Amino acid sequence: MKVLQERIRQEGLILSETVLKVDSFLNHQVDTQLALAIGQEFARIFAGRPITKVLTVEASGIQFAMAAGIALNVPFIYAKKKKAVTLAEDVYSAEVHSFTRQETYRISISRKYLGPEDRVLIVDDFLATGAALVGLTDIVAEAGAELVGVGCVIEKSFQEGRGLLEQRGVEVHALARIAEMAPGFVRFVEENAVHAE
């Protein structure tokens, strides 16, 4: 998605070879029109596939899951990271180990909102190590629902997330795929090197 790549070049703060901050338009302050366009792009990519629910995990995936839900005219669900007050048997849950944050936590969603009749599109902001996304695919499997695919806004292709998901037979689409980066420099997949600033 060209407009997204341009914003990453113009406003992305590349803190190291592995960490990209996009707080001015995606992750903290959100460009609402861009978020809606991202949702439409996911809907275009998965057009003709019978999706019934969009699924993400709080917090930063929510605005893109909502935008995709609007474009596809279906509800979205976000998995919660805080321990639910509901009984354990009322939720599907999965353990996620965040390599970036060096912590393990559980994500959960109510059994009321996902079941074998559902066909699910998973959406998230970043595809990095894939830990959270693998947890979401576990939840879809536990629910007996069909996983249509995964849509990510930004993929750091040099990390293992895509490989992990593809090993599980998951179809993955990312709107901006970063092949390599360093402070002041970003190169997208299938592009020649372009300087960030």
Contact residues toward ligand G4P (CB under 6 A) are 19-22, 27, 57, 59-61, 98-101, 125-133, 161
User: Judged by CB, which is closer to ligand G4P: 30, or 52?
Assistant: 30
Q: Which is nearer to ligand G4P, 28 or 112 (CB)?
A: 28
Q: How far apart are the first and last CA of the chain?
A: 19
Question: Rounded to the nearest whole angstrom, what is the least distance from the CB of residue 135 to ligand G4P in the complex?
Answer: 8
Secondary structure class of 26 (helix, strand, coil): helix
Q: Is-contact 172 162, C-beta < 8 A? A: yes
CA distance 115 to 118: 6
**Type of residue at 57:** V
Please check whether residue 188 is in contact with residue 5, taking contact to mean a CB–CB distance below 8 angstroms.
yes
Taking the complex as a whole, the smallest distance from the CB of residue 6 to ligand G4P amounts, in Å, to 18
Q: Across the strands, what pairs with 53? A: 120
CB of 117 to ligand G4P, least distance (A): 27
The residue among 130 and 149 lying less far from ligand G4P, judged by its C-beta, is 130
CA distance 175 to 177: 7
- C-beta closer to ligand G4P: residue 131 or 174: 131
Q: Is the bond preceding 174 in cis, omega lying within 30 degrees of 0?
A: no
With respect to ligand G4P, which residue has the nearer C-beta, 31 or 52?
A: 31
Minimum CB distance to ligand G4P, residue 179 (Å): 14
Q: Encoding tokens for residue 37?
A: 């366009």
Least distance to ligand G4P, CB of residue 94, Å: 12
